[in-house]
Amino acid sequence: MKPRILVTGGTGYIGSHTVVELQKAGYPVVIIDNLSNSNAEVLDGIERITGIRPDFVEADCTDMTAVRALFDKYTGIKGIINFAASKAVGESMQKPVLYYRNNLNTLMNLLDVMAERDVKGIVFSSSCTVYGEPDVNPVTEQSPIKKATSPYGNTKQISEEIITDVINAGAPFKSVILRYFNPVGAHPSAEIGELPNGVPQNLIPFLTQTAIGIRKELSVFGNDYNTPDGSCIRDYIDVVDLAKAHVIAVERMLDDKSPEKIEIFNLGTGNGLSVLELINTFETATGVKVPHKIVGRRAGDIEKVWANPKHANEVLGWKAETPIADTMRSAWAWQCKLRERGIM
Ligand code: NAD
Ligand code: WQD
């Protein structure tokens, strides 16, 4: 029997896909989520895919009493994957305290409880946002960390520092910090996917909502960047590929395979795609047109960033495998499923 893994934010977008992969690998999972940006029906989707309903605790990770109660009830937790965080960049500019409190208190509670309850390791969801506008692409884990341009981005930088300080101070556990590039797509079964709240700020949910007619047209934010077609470039990584890396990371810590107490990995494909290329890929892959127009730049956008994933490829033995066309089809199938269910 494999040890139990606690997944915070496990009913969210990346968390739910990771729970599926953990269960497929034989790990019993307990989820803690306060449902601030997800809903409990996600558990049904996970169960339909894997045949196993994960244990679920509806609670807030900033509530240490609730976190300790979870550990009392679910014994033998040896690993934590911490997805729980507030993640909307724009909202973080309006409500910085909410972001600092939620993201940092969540992490600090988990680090405290790990020491109390003999948890061997924590996987932390960081972001390519820590690199800001890189001087050189692709970015490696050694690329400079730029001053954060939002409180959200700052919480990721501070979180990485907190983990480093706590471990360097002799904490009895390990950590793997994963810097995601742009996670997109959905589970190929269309049972789980991204559920954006309100008008989507991110490209793919806005694109699929436009394709299905919820939005009139997609605004492409700028075509005057220093890129081949003038639109911004990102590294779009399939969410299932991303989820699989978490299973490897957890295993690495539990099996003491990592020589270092803290490891950092970029999780991206290594390919940069422009906004216009992505729209084109979606249209070709699905046969569905996306009405779009070029508008001005969005304040704060990075011109281009993509990953050098060599470290993760070589050390974790992990590689992004899903062709982007398949990812676009899974994103579309998920959007169609939401329509079928009358959700959107
Ligand atoms: P998400 O909002 O879908 O999932 C986060 C989940 O955490 C939600 O279900 C939410 O209800 C829950 N949550 C938030 N605060 C909580 C708290 N205090 N206690 C308990 N539950 C709480 O987001 P996601 O896209 O799945 O992102 C997961 C993680 O990955 C986040 O830490 C995010 O910052 C990070 N990340 C996301 C992206 C991205 O583009 N999606 C990119 C880089 C990093
Ligand atoms: C992608 C590209 C937009 C919407 C954000 C966070 C980052 C990370 C990932 C968590 C950009 C363009 C978008 C639209 C568009 N999250 N776009 N029209 O900005 O790379 O990163 O999510 O850590 O921290 O900042 O992702 O999906 O918002 O945008 O043209 O309606 O699509 O300009 O070039 P971004 P995104």
Cα–chain-centroid distance for residue 108?
A: 19
Q: Could you read off the pLDDT of 185-227 as tens digits, one per residue?
A: 999 999 999 998 899 999 999 999 999 999 999 999 999 999 9
Active site (annotated) includes residue 152 = yes
Q: What is the mean pLDDT of residues 158-171?
A: 98
User: What is the reported pLDDT for 344?
Assistant: 79
Residue at token pair 């449902």: 35
For residues 99 and 103, give the distance between their C-alpha atoms in angstroms, rounded to a whole number.
Answer: 6
* pLDDT above 90 as % of the chain: 97
Ligand 1 neighbour 39 (Cβ under 6 A): no
In sequence order, the 6+-apart residues with CB closer than 8 A to the CB of 131 are: 139, 143, 144, 145, 146, 179, 305
Q: Catalytic pick from 99, 131, 152, 180?
A: 152
**What's residue 7's pLDDT?**
99
Confidence (pTM):
0.98
Please classify residue 201 by burial: count the beta carbons closer than 10 Å to its beta carbon, then call 0-12 exposed, 13-18 middle and 19+ buried: middle
Ligand 2 site residues, Cβ closer than 6 angstroms: 87, 89, 127, 129, 153, 182, 201-203, 206, 218-221, 232, 234, 275, 298, 301
Report the pLDDT value the prediction gives residue 197, as an integer from 0 to 100: 86
Bridge partners, residue 125, by sequence: 178
**Cβ–ligand 1 contact at 109 (below 6 Å):** no
